[in-house]
Amino acid sequence: MGMSEEVRLQFYLFGLAFFCGAGFCFAYDLLRILRRLVRHSSRAVNGEDMAYWLALTAVAYGLLFHFAQGGLRLYIVFGVLFGVLFYSLTISPVFIHLSVRVLSPVFGAVRRFFGIFRRRPTEKAKK
């Protein structure tokens, strides 16, 4: 005897929500890595965060609207939360550490290369 189609759909949605939660954390980790590699003003950080949350809201709304007929299903909420917890406790620290470690020399070389073209202040301007 197999599972009913509705229960199968709920398992599928739970798994999809789990991966969405992990994807939300992955996307924010990309912002965190970029912020460690390139200096940002607080205005830029606020703008990036606003764009992140708007995109996250659109994806979450699309998930709920398309698959759950616009209703808030508790198993979808728990799927997202478990995805967030799983990713942030297991993959995130390693991913951020390795990414920054690998990309720092690259960004440093690019910064030094473009520093060559930066105009140096003259003696008059220093005083």
Domain of residue 11, residue span: 5-126
Mean pLDDT in residue range 106-121: 78
Choose among 81, 91, 86: nearest CA to 60: 81
Number of domains present in the structure of the chain: 1
pLDDT tens per residue, range 6-20: 888 889 989 999 999
- Regarding pTM above 0.85, the answer is no
User: pLDDT at position 124, please?
Assistant: 60
For 51-89, the pLDDT digits (tens) are: 999 999 998 888 888 877 767 788 888 999 999 999 999
